[in-house]
Amino acid sequence: MMLEPALAEDLSEIHALLSAARERGQFDTTPSMERLAAVLGQQAGDARVARVAGRIAGFVAVGAMGLVAPPSTQAALLDIVTDDEQLQAPLVDWAIATAERLPSFRSLRTLRGRGVAGPAHFSKVREIWRMDCDLTMPRPTPSRGDVDVVDYSTRTITDDAWVQVINESFAEHWGGYLPWTLERWRERLASRGPVGLELMARQHSEPAGVILGHVSERDDGRSSPAGFIEVVGTRPSHRRRGIAEVLVRSALDRFSQQGLHRALLMVDAGSSTRAAEVYTRCGFERTFRYAVWEVPLQRAR
Ligand SMILES: CC(C)(COP(=O)(O)OP(=O)(O)OC[C@H]1O[C@@H](n2cnc3c(N)ncnc32)[C@H](O)[C@@H]1OP(=O)(O)O)[C@@H](O)C(=O)NCCC(=O)NCCS
């Protein structure tokens, strides 16, 4: 079976495959055209399509950027989408052979909705959950004498300090968290749209934790836009003092004030810091479960 390079002109046909895959439970949300284009265009990666009777019936991409999984220092990311079961095996074989040629990664990783079978040769290593919060329900407003919450727009905290608090919080995170750089921070600020959310909690005036979010129009079968929480992190020295709870509740208040009716986030369900518990306490409920599948790459054995 011939795999052809995936080209920009194939985007809408591939996107239709992604929509069908969401309906089968592979994704919680159909990945956006922009994300798909970025995955196709990435330098450190490659993507192919499989045609059956002239139609694109399969898509495979391997690289530093994936359609759903966050970037990792340890794992190359894989996405396979097909409505033809017979294509799974050749797409997986191509993906493993391609990942073996990428420098520096120890494993190949893919995320799939828990109800969908994993790729051959891969083992399930973790779960990542999507959690949603109904913002129309009444919630307590956070108020703590020892903690103040500072908005990025006040410009009272330097960009370096934001990046440092995020990286300190995620240094031990599972899966090879890709540290933020000033460049990535500024790119995010430029691309997040006019309504962003960047809050830093300080305890006794010391930086303690951050929360980042934005308004997201997701193709997930629900009509209204949602407040998406991208990052929540408390510095190790300030954990278990209720900092994350203050940050999450403050973010929910902001989203609510912007007229949003729901918030959502993705969380590592196996986190030793029990992040999902914090979100549950703040009113989030699990709405989708991804399984994380990995295969080690030969070079690392
Ligand atoms: C997950 C994370 C954000 C939680 O931050 P935190 O500020 O410690 O969270 P909180 O203090 O609000 O809650 C954590 C626990 O401390 C408890 N706690 C809160 N205030 C407390 C206090 N004064 N004394 C003792 N315990 C307290 C909470 O009840 C909670 O307990 P639980 O785990 O049994 O539910 C933080 O551990 C972190 O940055 N982890 C790494 C990054 C990460 O995984 N982020 C989540 C993205 S997936």
> Model confidence over 172-183: pLDDT tens digits?
999 999 999 999
Q: Which atom of ligand 1 is nearest to the CA of 267?
A: 48
User: What is the residue with the minimal CA distance to atom 10 of ligand 1?
Assistant: 242
Instruction: Give the H/E segment covering residue 93.
Output: helix 85-101
Atom of ligand 1 nearest to the CA of 246: 12
Instruction: Write out the two tokens for 262.
Output: 């729901």
Quick one: 58 exposed, middle or buried, by C-beta within 10 A (0-12, 13-18, 19+)? buried
**What's the whole-number average pLDDT of the chain?**
95
**212 CA → ligand 1 middle, Å:** 16
DSSP letter string, 204-227: TTEEEEEEEEEEE--BSS--S-EE
What CA–CA distance (Å, rounded) separates 281 from 56? 45
Report the Cα 55 to chain-centroid distance in Å: 30
**Structure confidence at residue 224 as a pLDDT band (50, 70, 90):** confident
DSSP strand pairing (45-52 vs 55-63): antiparallel
The closest-lying atom of ligand 1 relative to the alpha carbon of residue 271 is 44
pLDDT above 90 covers a percentage of the chain that reads 90
Residue 301 has pLDDT above 50, yes or no: no
Cβ(229)–Cβ(211) below 8 Å: yes
Residues paired with 126 in a beta bridge: 292
Distance of CA 210 to the CA centre of its chain: 17
**Mean pLDDT on 249-253:** 97
pLDDT digit string (tens) for 144-170? 999 999 999 999 999 999 999 999 999
Residue nearest to atom 31 of ligand 1 (CA): 240
Atom of ligand 1 nearest to the CA of 231: 47
**pLDDT, position 123:** 97
Q: Which residues contact 8 (CB under 8 A, 6 or more apart)?
A: 37, 40
Q: Compute CA distances 134 → 24, 114, 175, 228, 238, whole Å.
A: 25, 23, 29, 12, 28
What does the pLDDT look like over 94-150, one tens digit per residue? 999 999 999 889 999 999 999 999 999 999 999 999 999 999 998 888 889 999 999
**In the predicted model, is pLDDT for residue 34 greater than 70?**
yes
Residue-level pLDDT at 142: 80
d(CA 243, CA 202): 9
- CA nearest 229: which of 140, 131, 111, 150? 131
Residues 6 or more apart whose CB falls under 8 angstroms from that of 245 comprise: 142, 278, 281, 282
> Which of helix, strand or coil describes residue 28?
coil
Residue 156 Cα to ligand 1 middle (Å): 25
Q: Residue 250: pLDDT band by 50, 70, 90 thresholds? A: very high
Beta bridge partners of 131: 265, 286
Does residue 289 sit in helix, strand or coil?
A: strand
- Residue 147 backbone class (left: φ over 0; alpha: ψ -120 to 50; beta: rest): beta
CATH 3.40.630.30 fits 138-282, yes or no: yes
CB of residue 243 inside a 6 A radius of ligand 1: yes
Helix (H) or strand (E) holding 148: strand 147-151
The domain segmentation of the chain, as residue ranges, is 3-126+291-300, 138-282
What per-residue confidence (pLDDT) applies to 141? 81
- Distance (Å) of CA 271 to CA 18, 29, 59, 170, 277: 28, 23, 31, 11, 10
| 256 has a pLDDT exceeding 80 | yes
pLDDT band with cut points at 50, 70 and 90 for residue 300: very low
State the closest ligand 1 atom to the C-alpha of 245, by its place in the atom list counted from 1: 12
What is the band of 299 on the pLDDT scale with cuts at 50, 70, 90?
low
- The matching CATH number, chosen from 2.60.40.10, 3.40.50.300, 3.40.630.30, 3.30.450.20, for 3-126+291-300 is 3.40.630.30
Task: Please determine whether the domains at 3-126+291-300 and 138-282 fall in the same fold group of CATH.
Answer: yes
How does pLDDT run across 262-298, given as a tens digit for each residue? 999 999 999 999 999 999 999 999 999 999 999 999 8
Q: What is the mean pLDDT of residues 242-254?
A: 97
Residue type, 206: E
Is the CB of 163 within 6 Å of ligand 1?
no
Residue recorded with tokens 């439970």: 25
274 C-alpha vs ligand 1 centroid, how far in Å? Answer: 7
